[in-house]
Chain A
Amino acid sequence: MSQGGSSEVLEFLREKIARIEADGSEGAGFARPAAPARISLGESLGENFSLDRVLQGGLTRGALYEIVAGRPGDGAAASGFALALAARFAAQNSKAGASIVWISEDFAGRENGLPYGPGLQLHGIDPARLVLVHALNAKESLWCMEEALRCKAVAAVIMDLWNAEKSYDLVASRRLVLAAQKSGTPGLLLAAGMAGKAASLSTAAKTRFEIFSGKGLQLASAGSRMPLPGLAAWSVRIAKARAGPEASGFDRDKVFAVFWDHEEACFRDAFSLALASHSRDRPGRPADARARSWQSA
């Protein structure tokens, strides 16, 4: 068999697996299943954001994503990234004002704090949309997550699980994936306490992001020698991608430096920061109005 032939077979098998993954059935014939709508992470214009390119257009609803802290101190960065993803899902939800459910294990809340309303608002998430669930332990959190994922009226579900290793495994994650697929509600698992263990988890989640807090663009301060801290910025590594067109051929070691534009509620590549920040400086920018209308929606 020639080289081209084997790649065709591989392509066929991959497609078949993708179909099984998608709806649990093998599907009849060669009819391609309709590609699920993608939620782009960058600006709605789309293709020019690095993560979107790697993820073949963005994230899909009805899937489970994992956000793992890269280093012990990166819990807050991972939370910010998870919230940003949730904001993207909420912004592109057809139902205006759909809620975001944040399930917090009590221990995670004590260790890393709880989501703070004013901060969320400045991060681009309307706090009035947030439903905060305080679960006693990991087992209870998983149950809540599954219940919430079954609900169609929710824009995104975030579960803040401190130690995912103990109770969150292939079976537990598979249950969540099935619930998410059925309702089309995206689930985000935030494992802030699993620093550096992104490779050790074996789960049914679609994509696993490993998050390092990144240096934002620091501005010189007028009064002191030290510069000002930057905007929300991360170094993102995609540790795992399961199924779908993006599953093959991504670079596991590539680190994407991205930052969050909380006014537009979208991600941007860090290298374009200077350009973006200068263009954001114009007076009477229509984007402000857009951001506001989104927040009040």
Chain B
Amino acid sequence: MRAHGPGKAPEAPLATLAKIKSAQRLVAVDRKAQALGLKPGMTLTDARARHPSLVTFDADARAEAETLSHIADWCRRFTPLAALDAPEGIILDVSGAAHLFGGETKLLTEIEAQLEAQGFHARAALAPTPEAAWALARFGTRQILPEDEKERRRVLGELPLAALRLDEKTIADLAQAGLRRIGDILLRPRAPIAARFGSTLHARLDALQGLTKSAISPRFEAPAYVAERRFLDCIMRREDIEATIASLAQDLALMLTRHGEGARRLEVNLFRVDGMVKHIETGTSRPLRDPQAIARLFRERIEAIGQTDETDPLDAGFGFDVIRLAALTVERKDQEQTGWDTSSCVNETADLAALIDRLGARLGLRRVTRLAFNDTHIPEFAVAAMPAAEGNRTSRAYHLQQPASNNFEANSNGVEKGLAQRPIRLLQHPEPIETIASVPDGPPLRFRWRRVMHEVTAIEGPERIAPEWWKNETALTRDYFRAEDSEGQRFWLFREGLFNRETARPRWFMHGFFA
């Protein structure tokens, strides 16, 4: 499969170049160059000697891989299971899908024709195993492996040994022994060949014949449920696309209801006529099968995409001809009683879950969070923001600790009991401050934070938080202080490092704020 240059077909033969084995060699050639007898692997000097008119480009492996993955995505219109077979192949699992396109022959013709229309020259072949299809597409004279056992052996036997994907040395060795076609080794006893050329040869041969099964690894997992629409005339207006998604959601909801399941992860694939495929994915906080809610989530997603790309959020180009809605992950969802008591508690939680879904669809689910407590004393790690959609309600309560402070007597007075010793707002990263203290390991008298000097009028501390030595040996002990400045603003500061024991110059940081 090779790409023409953009625009009209060029007149001169084309080839791409790369440096292989310390020589500039052809990597790929176009049809015209092929007709002239140029082959991949040839050195540039040889090729130029034969045809001075040859036009060459540097091979761009990354761009080629990207193009191939785009083609693989495009192929998902035929089946959800499409796997990359680098550097130049794509393997599709079309079991049970061929009849949707009018049979196997028609499917192959359609794939080839549509790729040709996009400017790719492709050869498609169909066989019961990926290996046989691989061999047929590259070396076969027929596109489809015959059903009949005898005929099949004949077709496979005609293939050259290169169809077994062996390395060049083995093929050359086999050729020296007079073995050139698969038919040559099919009928020979296995043991002597295996002894001389290794066991790979027969493993490949068995796979080719379908005696052993092998699987492909698709680029994307097969979704649990899929609903799709195909259009003769492409649609491009956003309203039409959203309406299509809404009606697909109805179809999907029927399937989900029948199986008693709800979707947790949904995806819309928009197949553009020129081969581009657009994926829009969204997640939910609870199993969902309400078609209106699904449609609304995708409306929000499209809106969110539109905010980053004002001009054309869906980038419709010449329009989409296939739109597919898939439930990627599903969970069991029991039938709910609806419509009896609208003010019930169930409705309230559903209401909140719907809100979380809507916000998540617009901002991304990771941006809608709940607080989860971790078992650590290090303040910034004691709480983690977990995506609310994960529904993790097992957050532990924070244990109120009494600090071992030098002001303990005042605490025991009772008045200060339950005093807020943790700030209401915590900086994401502690910020260094300059402090002036009477003694190096004493509390600060004044400090400068963000260029403003604060005079400390009241202070409490230290609350000593030791580092987690089992995780990080270089971390230093922190002494936390609660300080109030002359304006009544209350801060949470800490000194990092114990004076003279851990460090000679302890550093000070601002970490949080009290109300």
Contact = CB atoms under 8 A, between A and B. Distances in A.
A114 B355 contact: no
B428 A116 contact: no
Interface string A254-297: 00000010110000000000000110110000000000000000
Contacts of A227: 457-458
A131 B415 contact: no
Contact of A122 (B348, B414, B421, B488): B421
Interface in B363-406: 363, 367-371, 373, 379, 382-383, 385, 388, 393, 395, 397-398, 400, 406
A248 interface: no
B418 A95 contact: no
A95 B345 CA distance: 8
Most buried by A among B398, B409, B515: B515
B415 A119 contact: no
Interface stretch (B150-158, B326-334, B479-487): B479-487
Contacts of B427: 112-113
Nearest to A232: B515
A284 to B, nearest CB: 13
Contact of A73 (B359, B368, B379, B489): B489
Given A71-B487, A73-B452, A81-B515, A152 B348 contact: yes
Nearest to B348: A153
Contacts of B367: 133-135
Nearest to A227: B458
B60 to A, nearest CB: 35
Contacts of A99: 352
Interface string B486-508: 01111000000000000000000
Contact of B406 (A114, A136, A224): A224
Most A Cβ at <10 Å: residue of B349, B358, B484: B484
Contacts of A262: 418, 420
A133 B370 contact: no
Interface stretch (A4-12, A57-65, A141-149): A141-149
Nearest to B424: A119
A36 interface: no
A31 B377 CA distance: 60
Interface string A75-87: 1110111011000
Contacts of B53: none
B80 interface: no
A273 to B, nearest CB: 10
A144 B388 CA distance: 15
Contact of B371 (A130, A140, A221, A222): A130
A230 interface: yes
Given A132-B385, A148-B359, A83 B352 contact: no
Contacts, number: 228
Nearest to A140: B363
A110 interface: yes
A151 B351 contact: yes
Interface in A159-182: none
Interface centre among A73, A223, A262 (most CB of B within 10 A): A73
Nearest to A263: B418
Interface string A198-225: 0000000000000011111011111110
A172 B407 CA distance: 49
B459 A228 contact: yes
B373 A117 contact: yes
Q: How large is the interface on A (under 10, 10 to 19, 20 to 34, 35 or more residues)?
A: 35 or more
A95 B349 CA distance: 11
Contacts of A219: 410, 413, 415-416
A224 B459 contact: yes
Contact of B383 (A116, A151, A153, A223): A116
B453 to A, nearest CB: 11
Chain B contact patch, size range = 35 or more
B262 interface: no
Given A76-B514, A128-B370, A133-B363, A229 B424 contact: no
A119 B482 contact: no
Given A113-B428, A114-B428, A220-B410, A148 B363 contact: no
Contacts of A114: 385, 425-426, 428
Given A114-B428, A122-B400, A262-B420, A136 B363 contact: yes
A276 to B, nearest CB: 10
A115 B459 CA distance: 22
A268 to B, nearest CB: 14
B410 A128 contact: no
Contacts of A140: 307, 362-363
Contacts of A73: 452, 487, 489
B359 A147 contact: yes
Given A76-B514, A140-B363, A281-B414, A119 B489 contact: no
Nearest to B484: A229
A221 B482 CA distance: 13
A154 interface: yes
B68 interface: no
B448 to A, nearest CB: 13
Contacts of B457: 218, 226-227
Contacts of B251: none
Contact of A215 (B349, B363, B488): B488
A116 B370 contact: no
Contacts of A233: 488
A80 B424 contact: yes
A240 interface: no
Contacts of A234: 515
A76 B424 contact: yes
Contact of A226 (B348, B356, B459): B459
Interface in A53-111: 71-77, 79-81, 83-84, 95, 98-99, 101, 109-110
B422 interface: yes
User: What 5 A-B pairs are tightest by C-beta distance, nearest first?
Assistant: A80-B515, A76-B513, A232-B515, A229-B484, A116-B426
23 contacts: A79-B513, A80-B514, A84-B515, A95-B345, A98-B348, A99-B352, A109-B428, A116-B425, A116-B512, A117-B371, A117-B398, A118-B379, A121-B400, A148-B355, A224-B407, A226-B458, A228-B407, A228-B410, A230-B484, A231-B419, A232-B420, A280-B415, A281-B414
Interface of B: 307, 345, 348-349, 351-352, 354-356, 358-359, 362-363, 367-371, 373, 379, 382-383, 385, 388, 393, 395, 397-398, 400, 406-410, 413-416, 418-428, 443, 452, 456-460, 482-484, 487-490, 512-515
Interface of A: 71-77, 79-81, 83-84, 95, 98-99, 101, 109-110, 112-123, 127-128, 130-136, 140, 143-144, 147-148, 151-154, 212-216, 218-224, 226-234, 260, 262-263, 277-278, 280-281
Given A134-B368, A218-B484, 9 more contacts: A76-B425, A132-B368, A148-B355, A213-B515, A216-B484, A228-B459, A234-B515, A262-B420, A281-B414
